[in-house]
Every structure is written in C-alpha cells, then in structure tokens.
Amino acid sequence: MKTIHKFRLESGKEPTSLSLSEGYRVVRCEYLVPDKAVFLWVEQSLSVGTPKVQRQFRVALTGEPVPSSYEYLDTALDPFGPEAYHVFGIPGSEASLESDFDREPAGNEMFSRVNWQHSAIS
C-alpha cells in the first residue's frame, strides 16, 4: 500500500530535512495562504519493511542562485503576492556540504568544495 503525506518546507538558506520511504515521489508543491508557507506532497510506501532515506529540500525565491547540482522539482506561487517559491531537491552527497556552509566563515576555500558559480547579481 502507499499514501501521500504533506510536509511543510521552510523558506530561506537552510534546507528542510525529511525522512522518506525509499522510492518516494514528489507529487505536488503549493503555497498555502493560511499558513504562509510552502508545502510538499510526497507519495510513499506504507510497507513497514521499506527502508527510510534522509532527503533535503531547499526553497529559493526567483532570482536567488542555487548550486547547479540541485534538482528543480516545482514552483509554488503566492496568489495574493508577487512571490514565487522554487523547490529544489539537494543531491544526497551534497546535503552534508550544504549544512557545513552555515558553520564556516565565507572564504575562497569554501566555494572550491562545491559546484559554485557566479550569479548574475555578483
């Protein structure tokens, strides 16, 4: 059997970590006005024997740069405002590097560890 679960994603630089059933599938992304937040709906197995995987997702505003390796999933629009929220999946090997960014001071050595590129605004 399978089901669809709803998860709240936090906006900003910090990714949201979710424990999901292996073989999960993202089916919808939407901005919910009453909650003023982006939500992700994920189809996943209900089988007790299905292994769990840790996955991270990042919400970025239009024009905000993200690493090239991030996988675009969907866009959620605020129906009463100008904002568009773009949801990206962070590849498993980079999830730990993403969390390291917030603990280190900015420097050239930090940018050499990942697929960092200059943005249009730099």
- Among candidates 50, 52, 71, which has minimal Cα distance to 60? 71
pLDDT, residue 12, reads 83
Q: What is the pLDDT of residue 7?
A: 98
Please determine, for residue 20, whether its predicted confidence score (pLDDT) is greater than 60.
yes
The pTM (predicted TM-score) of the whole model is 0.73
- Which of these, 12, 122, 104, lies nearest to 113 by C-alpha position? 104
Tens-digit pLDDT profile for residues 57-103: 999 999 999 999 999 999 999 999 999 999 999 997 555 444 444 43
Can you tell me the distance from the alpha carbon of 114 to that of 98, in angstroms, rounded to the nearest whole number?
9
Task: Give the pLDDT of residue 92.
Answer: 79
Q: What is the rounded distance in angstroms from the CA atom of residue 90 to the CA atom of residue 71?
A: 7
CB 60 within 8 A of CB 74: no
